[in-house]
A and B are shown apart, each in its own frame.
Chain A
Amino acid sequence: MDGKAFRADFPIFEIEKSMYLDNAATSQKPKCVLEAEYGFYEKMNANPLRGFYPLSVEATKAYEDAREKVRGFINAASVKEIIFTRNTTESINLIAYSYGLNNLCRNDEIVVSITEHHSNLLPWRMVADRTGAKIKYLYPNKEGEFDPAAIDEAITERTKIAAMGQVSNVLGSLNPIDHLIKRVHEVGGVAVIDAAQSAPHMAIDVKKMNPDFLAFSGHKMFGPMGIGVLYGRKELLEAMPPFMEGGEMVDIVRFDYTKYSELPHKFEAGTVNAGGAVGLSAAIDYINKVGFDTMNEIEESLTKRAFEAMKNIPHLHILGGDSAEKHHGIISFTLDDVHPHDVSAILEADGIDVRAGHHCAGPLLEFLGVNSATRLSLMFYNTEEEIDAFTKSVASIRERMGFND
């Protein structure tokens, strides 16, 4: 089972013949998303939220309709809880600067898992450095699994923020965020969930999950680059100061007085990325049309196919979980004596695009004892032929690098 039936939805596959297996970095974009963004600039381009003439009103409506679409996508209570940003990184920085710097002080603690992408790690280090708060790391086992008891122990009365990704961008592991959220609420802290890798693959219901903040990027879920989302609980967002000051986020500015706009616009300074938001809205329609059930069925089947073949390649070591089910479309690996950059260069010569390096997760790789790794990451539009070409190429690498085995 694979995604052949959906490839025609993606114009890039008509033009670019390399096999794209770097989907955790960014997804490809279906035609409906490209047309939606183009259509915004073609038919309704005006600066949203400010003009009173019909074109601006229409642009505003398109932008706010996109916000409503995102609200529905994650089942938030109100559009006031949906802030458009550039990406996950900006969303988390918004929380760090606006909430973190203003609510933490010396002796407070921030609990962060060691598996995090740098974008859910460095903002917290910044908050710790500036406020005197302490960072406490959560460590998984070598399979990437967190012990709930260790979470209970790490999160204490001093914990003001606990930050964790829902799915690891290196290991593909699904993290116990429900447990983390419940625990940090017991001690009166807030939970920040990085959903960058999960939003493209699984339904998120913030009412059920109950995070205080949740961030994701449009570009990883078939939307354009440059549009991201921050969900925040309304009471928290209302009490927070703006992240950036400027146009479109104030109601009144006098010589000595500023009245900020209401949510969500308080956090959207400057001209917004309306075309991106409209593109993201189309991406959500596309996801709903295909359905996560169909996507997951294909992705699980392809992951299993890759995992089973990779397990049998000599000298290959898969990072993280010992079964395909634990990988959620992401399989990072090392090959004895061959540097990941050489692995990816040979794959590239065979027409296969994968990522090699530290995957913006330096501390995780350090914890796993590897300098860098090669990563295969799948999407439902990938095919069995692509997986087979990938595993065949990987199996040939050591010989092509001069090793006799």
Chain B
Amino acid sequence: MESRSFYNEILTEHNVSPYHKHDIENPDIVLEGVNPNCGDDIWLKLKCDGDIIADAGFTGDGCAVSQASADIMIGLIIGKKKEEALRLADIFIRMIKGEAREEEIDSLEEASALRDVAHMPARVKCAVLGWHTLEEAFGNN
């Protein structure tokens, strides 16, 4: 059977060598996100400068989809305004549900590499874990 590999290079690289999987000193916001079914467990740590996300990182463990997605997300939101980060989270979550437009998906840059997860119902929760945690961190559910 042909392997419909959503484990593409971008995903595996962010899983094997994550750029942002580390602690943040004196974070302003720390929030844990958990998928009780499969045990994905991340701690999202954000450092803010006014409205801007000055620095961010995550710790924890889980499957490649959850880890790579969180890593890519953090790369995308550092230096952005809170509102912009939330807008991207909204697009990402809609992309995973198969509801985002093409030009919106383009704005997600590397995160668009996870779009095939939309065809894998069992992995949707893994993909959106970091993004949901981000929404929750900003008090936006």
Contact = CB atoms under 8 A, between A and B. Distances in A.
B104 interface: no
A140 interface: no
Nearest to A341: B63
B1 A350 contact: yes
Interface in B37-83: 37-39, 61-65
A401 B9 CA distance: 8
Contacts of B65: 341-342
Nearest to A358: B39
B120 interface: yes
A7 interface: no
A301 to B, nearest CB: 26
Given A402-B13, A402-B16, A342 B7 contact: yes
A356 B63 CA distance: 11
A402 B38 contact: no
A247 B29 CA distance: 57
Contacts, number: 54
Contact of B9 (A340, A342, A346, A402): A402
Contacts of A401: 7, 12, 15-16, 64
B4 interface: yes
A6 to B, nearest CB: 24
A345 interface: yes
Contacts of B12: 400-402
Given A357-B37, A357-B38, A372-B39, A339 B3 contact: no
A328 to B, nearest CB: 26
Contacts of B9: 402
B126 interface: yes
Contacts of A72: none
A341 B122 CA distance: 10
A400 B7 contact: yes
Residue in A345, A356, A371 with the greatest tally of chain B CB atoms within 10 Å: A345
Contacts of A357: 37-39
Nearest to A399: B12
A14 B128 CA distance: 37
Contact of B3 (A340, A342, A349, A358): A349
Given A342-B63, A349-B4, 16 more contacts: A339-B64, A340-B63, A341-B63, A345-B7, A345-B63, A346-B3, A349-B1, A349-B5, A350-B3, A356-B38, A357-B38, A400-B12, A401-B15, A401-B16, A402-B15, A402-B16
The 10 closest A-B pairs by CB, nearest first: A402-B12, A339-B63, A341-B63, A351-B1, A349-B3, A402-B16, A342-B64, A342-B63, A341-B38, A371-B39
Interface of B: 1, 3-5, 7, 9, 12-13, 15-16, 37-39, 61-65, 120, 122-123, 126
Interface of A: 337-342, 345-346, 349-351, 356-358, 371-372, 400-403
11 contacts: A341-B126, A342-B63, A345-B7, A345-B120, A345-B123, A351-B1, A357-B39, A358-B39, A371-B39, A400-B7, A401-B7
